[in-house]
Amino acid sequence: MPLFGLADCNNFFVSCERVFRPDLNGKPVLVLSSNDGCVISRSNETKALGIKMGVPLFQIRKEVEKYGIALFSSNYVLYGDMSRRVMSLLSCYTPKLDQYSIDEAFIDFSDMGDSKSLQKYGQEIVKSVAKGTGIPISLGIASTRTLAKVASKFAKKYKGYHGCCIIDTDEKRQKALELFEVGDVFGIGRKMKEHLSKYGIRTAADFARLDGEWVRSAFSITGYRTWRELHGEACISLDELPAKKSICVSRSFAGEGITDKHKLEEAIANFASDCARKLREQNTICRQMTVFAYTSRFRTDVPQDFINHNIRLDIGTNETSEIIKTAIEGLRENYRNGNFAYKKAGVILWDIIPANAVQGNLFDPRNRSKLSALQQTIDEINRRNGRGTVRNAVQGDNQLNIKREHLSPQYTTNWDEILVVKG
């Protein structure tokens, strides 16, 4: 019988910061999105204060001061390197490791022993990663990837599991589903959750009790496969796990904004690059994109401009240079001269499909196999040496006018910022 494990880093961004700030263990900590806008990672202590994910910083200023919450600007160079270290350690325990996101990886535990030995093995993995990186992880093991995700949530929530929860019997499966909210199940998005709530479906167990044929007709093959996975039947491959239906990278610019056309192009190029990287991380391509930029809507005393341009790609892609080129061309087509100060800009990729489903074109002028090999080489260099080590010239020095008042050092990738220990 196949057995899948899901290793999930606990409060990953916060945990990365705490590795180098152990004085913050047990204290409330928040990590903010780019431009210090919204909350994107919370410590358990912060969650207990009732602060929600995604809330804007300006709305919780009083709570931050009242409870002495430590703030950090997002430090993706640090987080990316810490992720690499975690994955490297996990790979020592299995020949089959598939990274799913920056803080999650699936492990194949098939034919690796009975439940008792796997429980011990799993706890050993959890301890090893914590000792080797300082990052706490939770490990869920079950007969399907969907159930492994459920198990990892319980491993994170209940200390009695010592970091590793196994769902290996029908009794455990049914009990776990009764305690699990349907909206937290892999493959059940917001719209599907809202649809299910109309029928009184609140838990994963409620969903599993539905008739399979009704699920197939109401929610297509994807919902039906999720239903089967909750019954213990492995039928979703890694490539079929939920991927983002759209990807957006945008920023609000500090001060008066951006007035220089070349600086705006540089910003759009960097946003497009980040979008392309995220496409490749989830093994998808996009067939359409939107480029936008606008001035402050609240400043009636300055010239106003609004750019919002949709572009359809002849052939779907996730290659950085092509996406940057398309985005810049879209911006230039719609840019008009004037004394405009752009306060926000961004790139949205949509019409996203799996990378193996791309439709080719006999007259495509690009050698996509060579470009793919080149992109893989660039990605590997950037993984080893830090994001942006190799980049397109139009991206400039990658130093955008972004607010990052609480940025921590790049402890593990920058020689000038290595932690100094004094005896």
Please report, for the domain that includes residue 295, its CATH number: 3.30.1490.100
Dihedral over alpha carbons 231, 356, 97, 126 (to 10 degrees):
-60
Q: Is residue 409 part of a domain?
A: no
Helix count and strand count (H, E) for the chain: 13, 12
DSSP-derived letter for residue 258 is B
Q: How far lies 206's CA from each of 201, 209, 222, in Å?
A: 5, 5, 18
Q: Indicate the residue among 227, 242, 257 that finishes a domain.
A: 242
pLDDT at 361: 65
* Domain, as residue range, for 215: 169-242
Counted domains in the chain: 3
Do 236 and 252 belong together in one domain?
A: no
Q: Indicate the residue among 221, 242, 263 that finishes a domain.
A: 242
Do 318 and 331 belong together in one domain?
A: yes
Pairing relationship of beta strands 164-167 and 137-142 according to DSSP bridges:
parallel
Strand ranges for 318-412 from DSSP E: 342-354
Q: Is residue 403 part of a domain?
A: no
Q: Is residue 46 part of a domain?
A: yes
Do 342 and 223 belong together in one domain?
A: no
Do 232 and 257 belong together in one domain?
A: no
Instruction: Output the domain CATH number for residue 236.
Output: 1.10.150.20
Q: Is residue 203 part of a domain?
A: yes
Q: Is residue 253 part of a domain?
A: yes
Q: Is residue 417 part of a domain?
A: no
pLDDT at 323: 95
In 3D, which of 353, 281, 272, 248 has the Cα closest to residue 320?
272
Give pTM, 2 decimals. 0.71
Do 222 and 283 belong together in one domain?
A: no
The CB density around residue 383, as the number of other CB atoms within 10 Å, is: 14
Do 257 and 330 belong together in one domain?
A: yes
pLDDT at 243: 62
pLDDT along the chain (423 residues), means of 10: 90 96 96 85 95 92 95 87 89 81 86 84 95 96 94 93 94 95 86 89 94 88 90 80 73 84 93 92 87 83 86 89 94 90 89 74 74 87 80 76 78 84 75
Q: Indicate the residue among 116, 138, 163 that finishes a domain.
A: 163
DSSP 87-151: HHHHGGG-S-EEEEETTEEEEE-TTS--HHHHHHHHHHHHHHHHHHHS--EEEEEESSHHHHHHH
Pairing relationship of beta strands 29-32 and 39-42 according to DSSP bridges:
antiparallel
SS3 at position 21 = coil
